[in-house]
């Protein structure tokens, strides 16, 4: 009976380690993308939320519409990448938990 209990505790410890590891990866995940035109750099977190936005120093020659498009497109690309990475982290966690 002690061996079965030890195995159960060990399995629980491995599952907890897996969950903690995934949570740490997700908390630290940041994706930074720069626009093709160099006007915008966007940073998003693991949820795809915008956490940083940098604009080129000289925007005097850019229209508001072009800048808007660049911001939205760059942030959207960063969000897609972050959500893809998040999905992979969660998939690895699920696989690891299934094997536990």
User: Tell me: the pLDDT tens digits for 21-35?
Assistant: 899 999 999 999 999
pLDDT at 1 over 90: no
CB atoms within 10 A of CB 62: 15
Spell out the domains of the chain, with CATH numbers in brackets.
2-99 (3.30.1310.10)
User: Tell me: the pLDDT tens digits for 3-26?
Assistant: 888 788 888 888 888 898 899 999
Percent of residues, the chain, with pLDDT higher than 90: 68
pTM: 0.82
* Cα separations in angstroms, 40 against 8, 56, 75: 51, 6, 9
Helix (H, G, I), strand (E, B) or coil at 20: helix
């Amino acid at each position: 009976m002690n061996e079965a209990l030890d195995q159960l505790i060990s399995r629980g410890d491995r599952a907890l380690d897996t969950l903690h590891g995934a949570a740490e990866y997700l908390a630290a995940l940041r994706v930074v993308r720069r626009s093709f035109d160099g006007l915008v750099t966007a940073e998003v977190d693991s949820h795809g939320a915008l956490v940083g936005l940098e604009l080129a120093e000289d925007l005097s020659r850019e229209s508001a519409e072009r800048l808007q498009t660049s911001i939205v497109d760059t942030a959207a690309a960063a969000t897609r990448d972050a959500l893809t990475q998040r999905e992979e982290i969660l998939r690895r966690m699920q696989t690891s938990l299934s094997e536990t």
